Structures are given as structure tokens and as C-alpha cells.
Amino acid sequence: METSSRRDRDAEGRARNARPRDGLGRPLPYGSPGVERQPEGVARTPGETVAQAQRLLDAGMPFHAHEVFEDAWKTGPESERELWRGLAQLAVGLTHAARGNARGGAALLARGADSLGRYAGTPLYGIDRAGLIEWARALAGRLPGPVDAAAEAPRLAR
């Protein structure tokens, strides 16, 4: 496919970059080996979402964990949208921090922590909101600095 004049498209005809990506979601040159992407639009139970995202975070793939949370935020109940969106923001914040984008990482970590703070006192799927908020604020406070995504991966549940 000639990439200079045509956009990559998915099966439904939507623009979708088909370049392979590394573990932090950065595009690689066409033909390079990359990390398999997470399928989009998957409806998972909240427990499956947390478990899959934790596996990806532990593997140093927070960009891919964010995609799992994004599915939950788009397919879950409206009342939980900010919870899943906040978790996705934390994962993307870790992604940016690991890529060396301290400013973007800190901003997303703060937004994610604020979103999770809206659920204080509400038990949701064993997610350790207080621990995640503390983790996000501590990581944001250490930026700029080297960040290893796997070593910095938070624990999502108690």
C-alpha cells in the first residue's frame, strides 16, 4: 500500500493507522515486528477489564492497557464512564512518562486521579482508588525523570 497518498482504513472504511507499534504504542515503520494490538470494541466484565489491564501494565504496556479501559468506558454504564476514563488516563499518563513526555504524563496522571476521586466511598470491583490516586500523584511529582513502565506499573485492585 502506498502510504504517502492514502490513509490506512479498517474493514468498515474508517481511517486506522495500520503501522505496527511498540510496547508503548509508538508507531514503527511498516514491515517492522511490533506488539500485537488490543482488539477494539470488546465488551468485558469489569473483572475481566481489570485483570486484562493489569496483565498489560505488568508487562510494561500501559498504552495497550488504556485501550482495554477505553472499551469499558465506551461500553459500560454511564454511571461508571468517569471511572474507566480515569483509569485510561492513568495508563496513558504512564505511557507518556515512559516515553519521556513528563509534562503530558503529569497532566494525564492528575486528570486520571481527579476522575477516580469522584468515586470516593463507592466500592467498585475491588479497584484501589485511593492507592491509584496516591500512585498517580507520586509518579507525577517525580517527573521529569526516567520511568520504566513495567517497574512503575500500579496495582489496580486491593
3-state secondary structure the chain: CCCCCCCCECCCCCECCCCCECCCCCECCCCCCCECCCCCCCCCCHHHHHHHHHHHHHCCCHHHHHHHHHHHHHHCCHHHHHHHHHHHHHHHHHHHHHHCCHHHHHHHHHHHHHHHHCCCCCCCCCECHHHHHHHHHHHHHHCCCCCCCCCCCCCCEC
pLDDT bracket for residue 111 (50, 70, 90): very high
Distance of CA 33 to the CA centre of its chain: 21
If we measure between CA atoms, which residue out of 134, 135, 141, 138 comes closest to residue 154?
A: 135
Q: Buried b vs exposed e over 95-107: b needs ≥16 C-beta within 10 Å?
A: bbbbbebbebbbe
Residue 39 has pLDDT above 90, yes or no: no
Q: Mean pLDDT across the stretch 125-146? A: 95
Residue 83 has pLDDT above 90, yes or no: yes
Q: What value does the mean pLDDT take over residues 96-113? A: 97
Note the pLDDT of residue 143. Answer: 95
Whether residue 1 is predicted with pLDDT greater than 60 in this model: the reply is: no
Q: Which domains does the chain have, with CATH numbers?
A: 1-37 (no CATH), 46-142 (1.10.3450.10)
